[in-house]
Amino acid sequence: MRRDPDAQTKLDEIVKDYGIVSDVPLPAFNCAPVEGLKEHEDGLICLAEGCDYACRKPKVMAQHWTLSHPNMFVPKEKRSRTGVVQCFFTVIGTKYFAVNRSLSGLEPEGLYSTFISEYLPSLPPTPMLPPNTHREVPPLLAHTGWNIHLDTFITDELKRKALFKSACRPLPINKDEIYGQLHEWVFEYMDNIRDIAQHQVPYTLLRYILQYPW
């Protein structure tokens, strides 16, 4: 079937003329591109777990995180990924959705489409495996012993998420005398770790080199 290059423009004119509200159900996340709609390659797709929000401007994505994920402290560069997005309406209430070009022209219920849309998202993330030998442990990690007293968190994703969530946005100190100090504790801890990394670890490595040259 031949695509109409003016399909998006015609749709926008209909929306504007008839005042159609853009509150329509969006296609499934990461589906095949909708025929006739423009594919935007400069899309931004949210990386928060379970979120399918998409837009085209970093400022809009930042606003989305402020409103929808206020308790998640994630660096800006890890909050979204670039990808192809589409939208039904560009005149009012623009809502973008992520699409997967590799599904173009394929049967929606075909084997590959089913694998990409249904089976692949259900796969658990690749587990983090503990080091097999002491040579796989970085110097700072070996010095602090994090891999020993946090070993259960290395392989258990649920424990890592629970630990992360418990440290998100603690109450002010006037409302929580204990956890309200968490902000200062964390920065004091990181300052100490920086001192260890800059001064103690290099000295330890030099001592090992001198003691065990071969």
Q: Is the domain of 48 the same as that of 70?
A: yes
Cα–Cα distance between 131 and 114 in angstroms, integer?
A: 36
Q: How many helices (H) and strands (E) does the chain have?
A: 10, 4
Task: Answer yes or no: is 52 within a domain.
Answer: yes
Q: Is the domain of 31 the same as that of 104?
A: yes
Q: Is the domain of 109 the same as that of 166?
A: no
Question: pLDDT, tens digit, for every residue of 134-190?
Answer: 778 787 777 778 778 787 887 777 887 777 776 666 666 677 777 777 777 777 888
Question: pLDDT, tens digit, for every residue of 95-110?
Answer: 899 999 888 888 877 8
How many Å from the N-terminal Cα to the C-terminal Cα in the chain?
71
The per-residue pLDDT for 120 is: 75
From 85, 101, 122, give the residue that closes a domain.
Answer: 122
Nearest to 46 by CA among 19, 24, 14, 78: 78
Predicted model pTM: 0.54
Cα–Cα distance between 136 and 88 in angstroms, integer?
A: 51
Domain span at residue 90?
Answer: 7-122
Q: Is the domain of 13 the same as that of 115?
A: yes
The per-residue pLDDT for 162 is: 78
The per-residue pLDDT for 1 is: 43
Q: Identify the residue with better confidence: 8 or 61.
A: 61
From 122, 157, 188, give the residue that closes a domain.
Answer: 122
Task: Answer yes or no: is 42 within a domain.
Answer: yes
Tokens 């258990």 belong to: 156
Give the total number of structural domains in the chain: 2
Q: Is the domain of 166 the same as that of 138?
A: yes
Q: Is the domain of 139 the same as that of 87?
A: no
Q: Coil, strand, or helix at residue 67?
A: helix
